[in-house]
Amino acid sequence: MSTRSSRRHRAARLASAVLLALAGALVAPTTATSVTSPTPPPARPYVTVPGRPYGIALTSDGSHAYVTAYEEARVTVVDTAARKVVARIPVGLRPVDVALTPDGRRAYVSNAGSDDVSVVDTASGTRVADIRVGEEPRGLAISADGRRAYVADAFSNSVSVIDTTTGRKTADIKVGSTPVDVAVSPDGRRVYVTNNGYGTPASLSVIDTATDRVVGWPGRIGNFTAGVAVTPDGQRLYVTDQGGTVSVVDTGTGKVTAGPIPVGLKPTDIVMSADGGRVYVANVQSKTLSVIDTSTDKVVGTIGVGGFPDRVALTRDGHRAYVTISSSDAVRVLDL
């Protein structure tokens, strides 16, 4: 055999071997190997909500958030797991605050532009009633038993009381100048109202819900009183002053027992964790949330939110916060 023929023979044998190996690789059984799936992208830290989102309320299971769209006269429903808008429900003009009944069947919305409160059936996603209240309704809260809604009417210097079983307003209670926020005690016996003042001294009014009368005037608390939150045991109030502080009030004596606690610039909304261990304060001009430990009444953390925070809602387990940022048409999602 010539050298050239020998080389051709070896090349042919090599090619045949390669083809056989490839064929075997295609048909021979293989052992199982782990396949790494692509890492899913991290969830967006915000939800886009057009129309200047302002007020916010979470369902008890945290699955949905109801957000007022101030410029669109709507309540926007957000699926918190998917982090997307799933419904937009027409309400009154310039909606400010929103609160859900304990059973989650109704959402109540204060409309500053139309001087009324819209009632939304959450199952059907429709507005079922509009209840006339005072001028420029803002802060709104519902009693723990779900039977009463209390609305701060800023330009009427009053609080409207709504019977949620009949859908009618049952009282208008005169309070201080320019009430902006309300909180109901856990036992439902008292309603606490922050009166911003606007030219007159800021104050805190206390309403007896059995008589619908003001029974206490703890007096001046700061210069521009804004948000109010009550502890789960009903013994203390945390009240923001837009000058940059939070004060703690003993509900039994009406006296300030701690503070003023320095927080950020222009603190407005304030919310209490379900266990009463933390208070979160929205500092509008600082673009932050201040975290207060209620056992020491000291700020233990400051969280940047990337915009001007308006309202805050917490999940029941306290692990997540949702913050409306109207200037950015967004709801910021924070893991706490």
Tens-place pLDDT, residues 78-130: 999 999 999 999 999 999 999 999 999 999 999 999 999 999 999 999 999 99
Q: Which residues of the chain have a pLDDT value below 70?
A: 1-43, 199-200, 217-220
Whether the Cβ atoms of residue 290 and residue 299 lie closer than 8 Å to each other:
yes
Report the alpha-carbon distance of residue 334 to residue 336 in Å, rounded. Answer: 6
In whole angstroms, give the CA distance from residue 59 to residue 237: 24
| Residue 336, number of CB atoms within 10 A of its CB | 16
**Rounded Cα distance, 305 and 58, in Å:** 19
- Give the pair of three-digit tokens for residue 69: 């769209």
Q: For residue 140, what pLDDT is reported? A: 97
pLDDT at site 24: 36
CA angle 326, 327, 328 (to 5 degrees): 90
- CA 297, distance to chain mean position in Å, is 22
Task: Give me the pLDDT at residue 255, please.
Answer: 87
d(CA 142, CA 101) in angstroms, rounded, equals 7
